[in-house]
Amino acid sequence: MLPPVKKDRVITQLPTSFSPNAALHAKDGFHPQVKAACQVQKTDTVSFNIAKVIVVGDVAVGKTCLISRFRKGAFDKNYKATIGVDFEMERFEVLGVPFSLQLWDTAGQERFKCIASTYYRGAQAIIVVFDLSSESSLTHARQWLEDAMKENDPSSVLLFLVGTKKDLSSPDQLVQIEEEAIRLSEEIKAEYWAVSAKSGDGVGDFFFRVASLTFEANVLSEIEKSGSRHVGDIIRLTDRTEADHKPSKRKSNCC
Ligand SMILES: Nc1nc2c(ncn2[C@@H]2O[C@H](COP(=O)(O)OP(=O)(O)OP(=O)(O)O)[C@@H](O)[C@H]2O)c(=O)[nH]1
């Protein structure tokens, strides 16, 4: 039996995007069909609803710190490279329905890239991270995205472009790099966010947005697949047990 979802992980409304290109993603709230499906479902019939999220980007851009800041509210200034992939699960409740994000933190180091890429498949969201104080990490973002997309269906994956280490840049430096980041995010149809794992700025809002949008996409996809007119069945159709989604660390011979 899983413990109840923490009170500060309860989502009742679609969080606003604080992205500078928010207009691109503006929505009044959750899709009406999603709200209807959630209203009639009985939470005791629901076990787990899960979205796989992969986090990619250059070495030391701050992928691990971004996840730790949200999950543990902590920031570690010492760099410890991710070896291959790390996996974390964060539980939410969205519109009364238990929902989890499987967060796959992949290594940015070239020598681990091959191992990490074997975990890209089946993602519902891809978070491409770059460092706001490093132009080259933004230039490489496109390649990270292309590699991650090779393993996924572009029509069903949500994309986020996240600039980290906002605390390190002056407003003038930020304007310059953000211009390019916003241009890229519009081109690849990603939501752009600027955050700091050190101060926590934007981190919570960002993950709440990821959880809400992936939840909504999951339910809508089930509605479409089932063609069901009985919205009460939708949530039950999307039920997946946590056990069904336990990652199996596959061995790879590719590196
Ligand atoms: N000032 C500042 N430093 C940060 C921030 N986020 C991460 N760092 C620092 O950047 C370094 C790398 O952070 P990580 O989170 O380990 O980077 P990573 O992208 O996971 O690295 P790999 O696992 O090698 O791919 C660490 O020394 C962090 O303390 C931030 O928001 N602000």
* pLDDT tens-place string over residues 203-220: 999 999 999 999 998 888
Question: What tokens were used for 41?
Answer: 């479902």
Does 141 score more than 60 pLDDT? yes
C-beta of 86 in contact with ligand 1 (< 6 A): no
Q: What spacing in Å lies between the alpha carbon of 122 and ligand 1's midpoint?
A: 26
Residue the block writes with tokens 């280490």: 165
Question: What tokens were used for 85?
Answer: 């992939």
Average pLDDT, stretch 24-53? Answer: 72
How many other C-beta atoms are found inside a 10 Å radius of the C-beta of residue 77?
6
Nearest CA to ligand 1 atom 6: 62
The partner residues of 102 in beta bridges, in order of sequence, read: 52, 89
Q: What spacing in Å lies between the alpha carbon of 229 and ligand 1's midpoint?
A: 47
Residue pair 216/25 in contact (Cβ under 8 Å)? The answer is no
Using the atom order of ligand 1, give the atom closest to the CA of residue 68: 15
> In testing the pocket of ligand 1, which one of 55, 78, 79 has its CB within 8 Å of the most ligand atoms?
79
Question: What tokens were used for 33?
Answer: 């069909």
Average pLDDT, stretch 43-52? Answer: 62
What is d(CA 255, CA 48) in angstroms, rounded to the nearest whole number?
Answer: 34
C-beta of 168 in contact with ligand 1 (< 6 A): yes
Report pLDDT for 38: 79
**Mean pLDDT score of the chain:** 83
* Positive/negative CA dihedral, 227, 229, 235, 236: negative
Residue pair 125/56 in contact (Cβ under 8 Å)? The answer is no
> In testing the pocket of ligand 1, which one of 56, 64, 111, 166 has its CB within 8 Å of the most ligand atoms?
64
* pLDDT tens-place string over residues 53-97: 999 999 999 999 999 999 999 999 999 999 889 999 999 999 988
Q: What is the pTM of this model?
A: 0.86
Residue 117 φ then ψ, to 5°: -65, -20
Residue the block writes with tokens 């056990």: 243
Using the atom order of ligand 1, give the atom closest to the CA of residue 197: 31
